[in-house]
Chains A and B, each alone.
Chain A
Amino acid sequence: MTLGDPIGHVTGASLYLDDLRPLAGTLHALACDAPTAHARLRRVEVASAAALPGVVRVILAADIPGENQIGGIVPDEPLLASDVIHFWGMPVAIVVAESEEIARAARALIVYEYDELEVITDPRVARERGELIVPPRTFRIGDVDAAWAQCRHVFEGRADTNGQEHLYIETQGAYAVPTEQGGLRVSSSTQGPTAVQRTIARVLGVPMHRIEVDVTRLGGGFGGKEDQASAWAAIAALASHLTGRPVKLSLHRMDDMRMTGKRHPYSSDFRIGLSEDLRILAYEAVFHQNAGAAADLSPAVLERTLFHATNSYFVPNVRATAWSCRTHLPPNTAFRGFGGPQGMFVIESAIALAAARLGVPARAIQERNLLAEGDTFPYGQVATRVHARATWQHADRAFDLARMEQEVAAFNAGSRTHVRGMALMPICFGISFTNTPMNQARALVHVYQDGSVGVSTGAVEMGQGVNRKLVQIAASAFSIAPERVRIETTNTTRVANTSPSAASATADLNGKALELACDAVRLRLREKAARMLGADWQQVSLVDEVVHVGGVPTDLGWKALVHAAQWDRVNLSESAHYATPEIHFDKATEKGHPFAYHVYGTAAVVATVDRVRGTYVLDSVRLVHDFGQTLDAAVDLGQVEGGLVQGLGWMTLEEVVYDERGRLRSNALSTYKVPDVHSVPRELVVEALATDGHPLAIRRGKAVGEPPLMYGIGAYFAIQNAVRAARPDAVLVFDAPFTPEKVLMALYDAPEVSPVGDAPRGSSGTSASAVPRG
């Protein structure tokens, strides 16, 4: 049985934004930016662009009928720059033309006059200048200042993580079509249809009911289309509104990479204190989040960094402070893990540093401090149904960690050319939007009179398999064949006021709402069947498309029952609402119970470094993951494998490079490398921890989208351990990603240069803007 979309995917029939057949008269919109990261605009000369044949209109900020504002959490982000350009790639104008080719030609004719202003790319510099997105926040437990005195060992250091480009293979895009009475129907490649709807209404100055947003599916999102799809949809909508014609916008890859935000880089300081027996008694961290030029989702990302500052460890005395720093990079945004990975990297760095200084394996410190039942997180939630140690012990049993370490040591003793390292990475990730009000969802179910079922929810399918899960929920609720269930597009007129598909919670929230909706219709159908069969409705059940009474099959089938119910004027539709119970959080005290539950796991990562060339391969990742009672094992395994590889990419070869002028140098797939088929671990073992799951997870199957990404952090430390094995005096640096460059520079001193010989042939050379193909 094949559920959901795969057949469409392998035949090319699945439709994405750019695949929609354009209506006659469709125009193409193109965002135009100036080559500067920070400047005061004096003049924008668009006359030649506007005069180019085929150009219908050039739009500037002054043409916006509503508010020139797209900031979701903080209103600090104009759609189009009017006086100050805040980042390289900030749209200043929109060219609307008969074709994309004409629009690109017109864009090249726009002249910008501006005065350059100082460019800040370093979050620590931004903090010194007082350039903050929101005031800093601090999570505390215990008394960290008093605790240092009790520590036998105290170590401090710095840890940095770079950004990460989402590299959804489908770029951002939208298609806006005017409907009647001033309305617009906007197809958008977005994780947040309501955010798109709200943003467009704001920019156009119209009520939300005029804007219908429809999403079929995404060619990848990973957080990059949670908030940042809105700008592109707003541009298409604005162009359509002003021209009265359908307008399509589909970003060229280099525009997408230059103009959109990425995972936040962080630069952090840590201090860790341990007892004689390696208990972490105190931990202090100061996080500097590089938010970019506007808030976007940065305050929420910042919050999750604090929530995950201690990863899967119990630390009695903690003070973690996070600064959201405004720089002149594109506004950074959600990316799978949402600040959590950045927080976890810092405590893992602290543990690695302590282990190295104490001459003990990091895993001794990790294992010693794993969370236990009843421990309190720094944010006040008491850990229950904790599986931190269970996954660790399962990993030890299944993979024999001591033997793995011996094998690494034996390999290193036997190889002159290569050196191996191993690291363990436990994870603990909280499930729920940390902003409690967002933890709600609705579902609309129609049972049609022929027995087929249509389902609408707020969930957006972007490869995470939520549609497959929704099909199974509905099919199982009615006990009908999955083929009878169709998941409709995500549409704001059918399901309104949705939370974005994010926070790993999409299946939980929308699935629970769908269950409620199906339950209501099922109850009415059972009552109808009871009337038809003269039975007590409580004795009626639906089993494999047949009505049973008291467990005994009757002659009444699903289709006949539905047909009869329709003609008996039974309501065959239901809209249901779900809001996660139990959760709350008080930002004044920074305490509460923000998460419905936590997901746990433990991974063992082995890497081999080529000690001559500085390159490396990831030999194996073996992990034990806390799936709960998985609803769809294939989907969940896919999420673990894919999330892991994204995390490995973040830690190894994905390097976002901005120059000092704030210009993105890694601006194409030729200069920004994500994992390919050859760079993934040779061996990947995923074991499921046997548990009964969690009642707040959809059918006790835990959320799985984000947590596995953080196993990838283990790769950094595996490579670092290999480097240390090759060169015990190598300087310990915590600065991800661990590129081959960093490996080689750690292994060797600078080469000797002959004082005589041929003179160098020149000082210029390759540049990133003129990219040669190797």
Chain B
Amino acid sequence: MIRFLLDDRLVETARPAGTVVLDVIRYDEARTGTKIGCREGDCGACTVLVGELREGRLEYRSMTSCLLALASVHGKHVVTVEGLTMPGLSPVQRAMVDAHGTQCGFCTPGFVVSLTGCCLSREPVTATSAVRAIDGNICRCTGYHSIVRAAHQVVERLARKDIADPVAWSVAHGLLPDWFLGVADRLRAIAPAPSASGTTDLGGGTDLYVQRHDTMTHADLRPRADDPALRGIRQEGDECVVGGACVVTDLLESPILRAHFPRLEPHLLLVSSTPIRNMGTVAGNFVNASPIGDLTAIFLALGGVLTLRDPSGAGRTLPLERFFTGYRQLARRADEVVESVRFPLPGPQTHFGFEKVSKRTYLDIASVNTAARIELDGDRIVAARLSAGGVAPVPLLLGATASALIGRPLSPATLRDALPIAQREIAPISDARGSSEYKRLLLQQLLRAHFLTWFPERFAPESFA
């Protein structure tokens, strides 16, 4: 029996744990404001807020309920547009009406929920963060300008938000119904779920529910996302250890990563959308074995080493590049879990970059992605790791290309000599994300772009011509 709060109501359901929350909301609970648009997390019409107690504090994140397993919401608070609706409109709803941010209306509840989620964060609400909050919501009618105008109205209304206790502040300011004040206590009263020992590991579900839509409902699930042993980002000496169940948003919010990667935000915002970043785990991005996972590309270049653990408690380590043995094939035993990935933190002479080009810049899968990490000694490259996704059956570490950089001076000539080697290392195919010729050219350009971004004076675009 799975128990969770749906808006102001305790739901106890005997549905299979793999049922998506969207169907429970709409068809069992008859809350039809949450819409079905794509069932693969790409439109945001089904967005809900999921509240959970983290270190005693109630925190909400937006998620797409079409990819959200019942198993993942036990003991949590699921908030739909109906739960945000009071007599009289909330400031978010009011702004969407006043700014004419709704036309056919089908995507509108998703936008309302996402914008409200932004208001419930423990960060000040800005025009940038409000627009970011709706980066996973597709509207086919308005062209977005009216919705952005609505978002800006919301920002004005929330300028004085109390980030210490956003829920209480929101109740006091008419953003949420007052029953929200009792939610934390009601969640504490729900007994934890008995530990599951299923055969299908479930992280965020953002890939599983897309790939195996028809079989997930009755799958024998083992939810991993809430396992404390798999969570958290910590520093150990010169290394950083990232728990396998960390979601992308955890990376974005990590003080350790923020301190060491000044461009963390622009890099990670290229990964999917806000609700998917709130769900998709680091381990999931590795284990789905996609040749083009963004996090995979990043951790490959960082020098990530996995810790895999089996049910007996025995662990082993494996460099990430040796994890991928063939198209969607992994060097992982079925009973092993990716506990963490560790990598050396960058030093003062380290340069790190991530490049990704897709048809649509945001909320899209790359045509080609690449990450690069080089260490300099003066003017000389002393270490280099380059990754490339979308150009081979597996995520690639461009070993030969990197070798051609190591020991050589940092110069356009060095890069010029190395690039043709990268072309030898890759074997892209033509598909919906581009022709093989394009992917070849694009990888060349993105490798150039790493250097152009790090050293704009030395690597002028003209030097590429």
Q: CB within 8 Å of B: which residues of A? A: 2, 5-16, 18-19, 21, 101, 104-105, 108, 166-171, 217-222, 250, 252-253, 416-417, 462-465, 611-615, 634-635, 637-638, 641-646, 653, 655, 657, 665-666, 668-671, 673-680, 684, 739-741, 744-745, 748, 750-754, 756-768, 770-774
Q: Is the CB of A773 within 8 A of B272?
A: yes
Residues of chain B within 8 A (CB-CB) of A222 are 140
Query: Knowing A638-B100, A641-B142 touch, does A12 contact B148 (C-beta < 8 A)?
Result: no
15 A-B pairs in the complex with CB atoms less than 8 angstroms apart: A7-B97, A9-B105, A9-B108, A10-B92, A18-B36, A108-B214, A637-B100, A638-B141, A669-B37, A679-B361, A741-B359, A758-B424, A759-B424, A766-B390, A772-B207
Residue of A nearest to B435 (CB): A741
A550 to B327, CA, bound (A): 85
Question: Is B170 in the interface zone, CB < 8 Å from A?
Answer: no
Question: Is B340 in the interface zone, CB < 8 Å from A?
Answer: no
Query: Knowing A463-B105, A665-B431 touch, does A11 contact B33 (C-beta < 8 A)?
Result: yes
A548 to B440, CA, bound (A): 78
Question: Is B341 in the interface zone, CB < 8 Å from A?
Answer: no
Q: Is the CB of A253 within 8 A of B393?
A: no
Query: Knowing A170-B106, A766-B291 touch, does A614 contact B271 (C-beta < 8 A)?
Result: no
Q: Is the CB of B141 within 8 A of A764?
A: no
Residues of chain A within 8 A (CB-CB) of B441 are 744-745, 748, 750-751
Query: Contacting A772 at CB < 8 Å: which of B292, B326, B399, B429?
Result: B292
Question: Is B303 in the interface zone, CB < 8 Å from A?
Answer: no
Query: Contacting B42 at CB < 8 Å: which of A19, A668, A753?
Result: A668
Residue of B nearest to A678 (CB): B362
Q: Is the CB of B104 within 8 A of A220?
A: yes
Quote the shortest CB–CB distance from B420 to chain A (angstroms): 4
Query: Contacting B100 at CB < 8 Å: which of A634, A666, A741?
Result: A634
A513 to B359, CA, bound (A): 45
A417 to B140, CA, bound (A): 32
Beta-carbon contacts under 8 Å, B299-347 to A? 326-328
Residues of chain A within 8 A (CB-CB) of B135 are 676-678
Question: Is B358 in the interface zone, CB < 8 Å from A?
Answer: yes
Question: Is B172 in the interface zone, CB < 8 Å from A?
Answer: no
Quote the shortest CB–CB distance from A186 to chain B (angstroms): 20
Q: Is the CB of A668 within 8 A of B449?
A: no
Question: Is B159 in the interface zone, CB < 8 Å from A?
Answer: no
A-B interface pairs (CB < 8 A), number:
344
A677 to B464, CA, bound (A): 32
A349 to B393, CA, bound (A): 39
Q: Is the CB of A673 within 8 A of B364?
A: yes
Query: Knowing A741-B434, A745-B437, A770-B211 touch, does A611 contact B32 (C-beta < 8 A)?
Result: no
Query: Knowing A674-B140, A763-B427 touch, does A768 contact B432 (C-beta < 8 A)?
Result: yes
Residue of A nearest to B113 (CB): A12
Q: Is the CB of A760 within 8 A of B106?
A: no
Q: Is the CB of B138 within 8 A of A774?
A: no
A101 to B18, CA, bound (A): 13
Q: Is the CB of A665 within 8 A of B141?
A: no
Q: Is the CB of B96 within 8 A of A220?
A: no
Residues of chain B within 8 A (CB-CB) of A637 are 100, 146
Residues of chain A within 8 A (CB-CB) of B107 are 169, 219
Query: Contacting A753 at CB < 8 Å: which of B394, B420, B456?
Result: B420
A464 to B104, CA, bound (A): 7
A674 to B140, CA, bound (A): 8
Residues of chain A within 8 A (CB-CB) of B82 are 11-12
Q: Is the CB of B104 within 8 A of A462?
A: yes
Q: Is the interface of A mostly helix, strand, loop or mixed?
A: loop
Question: Is B39 in the interface zone, CB < 8 Å from A?
Answer: yes
Residue of B nearest to A708 (CB): B143
Q: Is the CB of B424 within 8 A of A754?
A: yes
A684 to B43, CA, bound (A): 24
Residues of chain A within 8 A (CB-CB) of B32 are 12, 15, 18-19
Residue of A nearest to B294 (CB): A774
Residues of chain A within 8 A (CB-CB) of B288 are 772-773
Q: Is the CB of B424 within 8 A of A753?
A: yes
Question: Is B223 in the interface zone, CB < 8 Å from A?
Answer: no
Q: Is the CB of B81 within 8 A of A760?
A: no
Q: Is the CB of B102 within 8 A of A774?
A: no
Quote the shortest CB–CB distance from B410 to chain A (angstroms): 18
Residues of chain B within 8 A (CB-CB) of A773 are 206-207, 210, 272, 276, 280, 285, 288, 290, 293, 365
Query: Contacting A771 at CB < 8 Å: which of B141, B147, B210?
Result: B210
Quote the shortest CB–CB distance from B391 to chain A (angstroms): 8
Q: Is the CB of B394 within 8 A of A668?
A: no
Residue of A nearest to B110 (CB): A169
A13 to B32, CA, bound (A): 8
Beta-carbon contacts under 8 Å, B89-109 to A? 89, 92-93, 96-97, 100, 102-109
Q: Is the CB of B97 within 8 A of A760?
A: no
Q: Is the CB of A761 within 8 A of B109?
A: no
Residue of A nearest to B103 (CB): A463
Per CB-CB distance, the 6 closest pairs between chain A and chain B, nearest first, are A12-B33, A772-B290, A463-B104, A219-B106, A9-B105, A645-B143
Residues of chain B within 8 A (CB-CB) of A766 are 290-292, 390, 393, 429, 431, 433
Residue of A nearest to B82 (CB): A12
Question: Is B131 in the interface zone, CB < 8 Å from A?
Answer: yes
Residues of chain A within 8 A (CB-CB) of B293 are 772-774
Residue of B nearest to A673 (CB): B360
Q: Is the CB of A671 within 8 A of B432?
A: yes
Residues of chain B within 8 A (CB-CB) of A760 are 392, 424-427
Residues of chain A within 8 A (CB-CB) of B419 are 751-752
Quote the shortest CB–CB distance from A156 to chain B (angstroms): 27
A679 to B426, CA, bound (A): 30
Query: Contacting B102 at CB < 8 Å: which of A9, A21, A167?
Result: A9
Residue of B nearest to A465 (CB): B103
Residues of chain A within 8 A (CB-CB) of B362 are 676, 678-679
Query: Contacting A217 at CB < 8 Å: which of B35, B37, B104, B146?
Result: B104
Residue of A nearest to B462 (CB): A416
A21 to B30, CA, bound (A): 8
Q: Is the CB of A219 within 8 A of B104?
A: yes
Question: Is B58 in the interface zone, CB < 8 Å from A?
Answer: no
Residue of B nearest to A742 (CB): B438
Residues of chain A within 8 A (CB-CB) of B131 are 677-678
Q: Is the CB of A757 within 8 A of B421?
A: yes
Q: Is the CB of B145 within 8 A of A641?
A: yes
Question: Is B275 in the interface zone, CB < 8 Å from A?
Answer: no
Query: Contacting A11 at CB < 8 Å: which of B85, B147, B294?
Result: B85
Q: Is the CB of B420 within 8 A of A751?
A: yes
Q: Is the CB of B206 within 8 A of A12?
A: no
Question: Is B363 in the interface zone, CB < 8 Å from A?
Answer: yes
Beta-carbon contacts under 8 Å, B132-158 to A? 134-135, 137-148
Beta-carbon contacts under 8 Å, B356-378 to A? 356-367, 369
Quote the shortest CB–CB distance from A419 to chain B (angstroms): 10
Residues of chain B within 8 A (CB-CB) of A221 are 104
Residues of chain B within 8 A (CB-CB) of A19 are 26, 32
Q: Is the CB of B437 within 8 A of A770?
A: no
Question: Is B3 in the interface zone, CB < 8 Å from A?
Answer: no
A759 to B280, CA, bound (A): 34
Question: Is B405 in the interface zone, CB < 8 Å from A?
Answer: no
Q: Is the CB of B33 within 8 A of A13?
A: yes
Question: Is B283 in the interface zone, CB < 8 Å from A?
Answer: no
Q: Is the CB of A167 within 8 A of B460?
A: no
Q: Is the CB of A771 within 8 A of B365?
A: yes
Query: Knowing A10-B112, A773-B206 touch, does A752 contact B366 (C-beta < 8 A)?
Result: no
Residues of chain B within 8 A (CB-CB) of A6 are 96-97, 100, 102, 105
Most buried by A among B39, B359, B362, B420: B359
Question: Is B62 in the interface zone, CB < 8 Å from A?
Answer: no
Residues of chain A within 8 A (CB-CB) of B358 are 673, 740, 774
Apart from the given pairs A104-B214, A757-B424, A768-B432, 13 other A-B contacts in the complex at a CB distance below 8 Å: A5-B105, A13-B33, A253-B40, A612-B452, A614-B442, A669-B138, A679-B361, A754-B423, A754-B424, A765-B390, A767-B429, A772-B365, A774-B292
